[in-house]
Amino acid sequence: MFRVDYLHGKGSAASLELLGSPAVLGIAESLAGPDLVPTYESLVFKDTGDGAAIDWHQDAVHPRTHRIFNVDVYLDASKAGEGALRVAPGSHLAPVDVCQLQDEYGWDAPGVVQVELEPGDVLVHDVMVVHGSEAVTGNRLRRTIYYEFRAAEQIRAEGPWDAEWVDRRMRLLPLGLEAHARRFPDQDQFEWNASPGLRPEMSGDADAELRIAHLVHSPGSYCSAGSVPFTPDED
């Protein structure tokens, strides 16, 4: 086990409090605009002494008409030699054949960097950047919370979800803002400026609104079944 999805419905308010923080939503709004949609949330971890590899991949491949990105909040230190994230700078601009990359270079492709982070650090990455981390033993516990954001306009134009799904996902934002305000009443709160037509009408049943299943997913580039076919850059 290395991943937990649908964090908001797991019985703790912490993930909603973090989602509703000005630090996270300020980043999201600056990149996706006021009609931001929280499309995924998950916790990925390498357990103490048991750090399985996460092979080279692109989270999602898309036409790049809008920014699609993750806000990664590190709960533990991530160090080189202990399964730290490896990133291929510039790889976000086009689909990449990650199988060929892996076969040809392993973990040491030209230009790849290891990203070292401390607890509380935040990393923002484009969903098309090629990244991964090698298997290690004897590592320390490393936990990272991931929030993916997209603009509502991008989802309406390109999918893979419909308007009803977007409305349900956007209901997480008022819940997150309320959770953050309850937990930190003396701190500044995020001012949500979504378009009036996109502001959801809340049902009043928070439990029912915390988990919105992803029946379809944006295809990514992985060296496995279900990967998107590699399309070379014609430029």
**Domains of the chain by range and CATH?**
3-222 (2.60.120.620)
Per-residue pLDDT at 80 = 87
Instruction: Give the predicted TM-score (pTM) of the model.
Output: 0.91
Distance CA 2, CA 45 (A): 5
Per-residue pLDDT at 113 = 95
Question: Which residues, in sequence order, are bridge partners of residue 132?
Answer: 86
Q: Look at residues 112, 211, 114 and name the one whose alpha carbon lies nearest to residue 165.
A: 211
At 10, the amino acid letter reads K
Per-residue pLDDT at 229 = 47
pLDDT by 10s per residue, the chain, length 235: 788 999 998 989 999 999 999 999 999 999 999 999 999 999 998 888 777 788 999 999 999 999 999 999 999 999 888 888 999 999 999 999 999 999 999 999 999 999 999 999 999 999 999 999 988 777 788 899 999 999 999 999 999 999 999 999 999 999 999 999 999 999 999 999 999 999 999 988 888 888 788 999 999 999 864 444 444 444 4
Helical residues (DSSP H) of the chain, grouped into ranges: 14-19, 22-32, 98-105, 152-158, 163-170, 172-183, 206-209
Residue 79, number of CB atoms within 10 A of its CB:
15
Orientation of helix 172-183 relative to helix 163-170, angle to 10°: 10
Q: Quick one: tokens of 32?
A: 């996706």
Distance CA 92, CA 99 (A): 16
Q: Are 85 and 115 in contact (CB under 8 A)?
A: yes
Q: Are 172 and 38 in contact (CB under 8 A)?
A: yes
Question: Which residues, in sequence order, are bridge partners of residue 58?
Answer: 221
Per-residue pLDDT at 224 = 67
Q: CA 164, 37, 208: angle at the middle one, nearest 5?
A: 55
